Structure 1
Amino acid sequence: MSNIHSYRSFPAAQQPPWPDPEALRGVVAELESRPPLVFAGECDLLRSRLAAVARGEAFLLQGGDCAETFDKVGVEQIRSKLKTLLQMAAVLTYAASVPVVKVGRIAGQYSKPRSRDTETRNGVELPVYRGDSVNGTEFTPESRTPDPERLKRMYHASAATLNLVRAFTTGGYADLRQVHAWNQDFVAMSPSGKRYEQLAGEIDKALAFMRACGMDAEELRTVEFYASHEALVLDYEAALTRTDSRSGELYDVSGHMVWIGERTRRLDGAHVEFASKIRNPIGVKLGPATTADDALALIEKLDPGREPGRLTFITRMGAARVRDRLPGLVEKVTASGARVVWQCDPMHGNTFSSESGYKTRTFDDVLDEVKGFFEVHHGLGTHPGGIHVELTGDDVTECVGGGDEILDADLKDRYETACDPRLNRSQALDLAFLVAETYRDR
């Protein structure tokens, strides 16, 4: 059987500098005794759904917060995020005529890699905020000191979130016949909401036709919805890895799918070693510096059996570089015979600081990277498998542009993210319509 702790022999980037190793060991021991947050069979089912994406038969929609926070684990906040993803999925499914695999950046996205270890304000230097699983956002020595007790809070917050998500997705809220109800608070004030309402009317007509033909629509009452996060803090991920009683194989039961970030994907690093030992579907972020040899080596390490659905390459090239950097990767990976899912993250390569001092993204750049992603795949005859987006269901002002035209001067109005800027609900729907049209017209 694989040794899940083999990663400890490899260099581990982006790990919190825990000040008390003994306290960390106590937290890890407690987490090792906790029930799983997800089950191996659910991970296997997601892997089979992603295999359909890899074969060009479905589309992967993955989205949610840049960084979840403990104070946002509430019914309204979670329902709002879920509602936005369900609306996007409805647009993609109906307008693009493609099955959509729905995966949230949710119930575990509490840890963030950072470009610097410290932050300085007014001459005071403190550890950087690394997500609620590690420390707090307040700029004080107490808040910024890494605290392993927060890993237990992460576990409990993730469990509460998953309970709510499961209740919503199986209890009737996610029923496709609710397409209008998802929009009641939104349609009157948003151009994208009005556009969505027109599509919802068409879905209603299609469902009425199905009923008139005697077809049972009960299977539309529930949806499959999966949880994912970046597997960053390895002490936490390893503590929640279990041996499946059916197969004897290891699963990270902190989430259905986990991914490795651009900063932690080095082939001889601890994160890649850890991911190679578990059976979950695995994602890897690939930035513009990624070479074809890098991609092929990652496939050899993480997917030696060339299993469709096992590995997702999440490309984050930036709008200005996607058309130049992506083709070589796709060509050589395809030529190798590997069947990976190609997914576009149009957020992380397009971040900049605005004149007003806020970290932001231009919605036009997000759209352009998605367009470039589709253009590359259409040109090569390969499948543009999905999008990976940081978004919220709230009416925030964090990314400039969009149908409601958020300006730099508007960013201060509702800039609420704990880390990176997210699309608001209107921008997320605009993106879904663009993707549906581009997919349909390929």
Structure 2
Amino acid sequence: MRKAMFMIMTVFLTFSLVLMGCSQRQGNGSGNSSGSANGSKTENQGSGAAASGGGDKIRLTVYNTTSDSAVQDALKGIAGDFMKENPNIQVEFQFPGSEYENILKVKMAANDLPDVFDTHGWAIIRYGNYLADLKDEPWAGNLTDTIKPVVVDKDGKVYTLVLSEAKDGITYNADVLSKYNIKPPQTFEELLAAAETLKTSSGGQITPFFMSGVDNGMIGQFLDQYATSLFISPAQNDAQSLLDGNFDWNKWAELAQKLLDLKSKGYINEDVLTAKRSDMPTRFAQGKVAFIIGGTSFADEVHKVDPNVKVGIMPLTSMVAGDGTNFSGGERYTVGAWKDGKHLEESKKLIAFFAKPENMSRFANATKLPAGLKDISSEHEFSAYYDEFAGVRVFPYFDRVYLPNGMWDVICKTGTALLAGSVSPQQFADKMKSEYERLRDQ
């Protein structure tokens, strides 16, 4: 009997201790009655956010690809203003950098995505099944004519708000071109002629193009953009055969040869295989480099070396007779809403706040890129260029539309091997064909 009473008392004491522990965790161990059952507090945790008056805050997670501190600050600043107007909502940012795609792939597999996230060029193709339709949002009808085909499907679904529209062409040293009386080229032949003038007239002091085999995305950028000029932009093009899987990959050898010719003629920096992308802004600022294939994101680094250097942007030249210039582009920075998110209405509310003209202008000035909505004013060093070339065609990045996932790495690495002399243009074409077929079937 005594043994049985001892066991009952032991169970009773254990149960009491468990209840005490639960009570302490619910109060966060502080005795503050404002704590929630899961240990979260309702106090201010964001810039400009006010107390919500007692209830738990709704927390929105926002993922973005940028590693640029100025862009991050702009995002957080706009979100801070949003939280002032909506003190019951807390916006929490994550900037995973180079791990962004891997993290999002894991989250897609688990169907556990952030409330709001950056689609970085893959709104329809990669993330389409996970994104809410934003076609009924008040800003949706104001998407620019160039971005609309990229983020709106044939059924009218709007996948994301494009904060910044990418327009990659050729970024150039305007001071260098002015010194040698060179007008921005419109054809590839004119670009080669300009490169020859720069090389010879400067006595070899100017390298027309800078590329990096270490950061081989610069080599890939040349191939990807000029693949559009060669295969997509002309009236007679290979767009459908690429989509159907019937493209004649022998044609890629012609593009590879164009890149190899730049090296053989001395138009690319001699240390292309060992140079780093971080070497480029200093050389550009010193007037030793004229052309960079791609966008203007490095301009601030140039101005840290010499604030007086004038950086220009122009469309990519044509490569086929009779064709016009073009930009490669689409989504640069976006905000889309996870369709299965627990706070979808609040997510849409945040996106609508970003879509306000004053916030779109603020973000455009931070990124130095055109906004994805019409009639958004901006005042930065490239505004005049984007206004000047507003009518130039913008094509989605070649690899995002016409190549299976994984081909970008093939382009970059094999392009570097081409410049190293490890593969020929025809071997490059053969590699593209075999990898295209392998990855397309996965």
Give your verdict on TM over 0.5: no
Higher Cα Rg: structure 1 or 2? 2
Question: What TM-score do you get using the length of structure 2 for normalisation?
Answer: 0.25
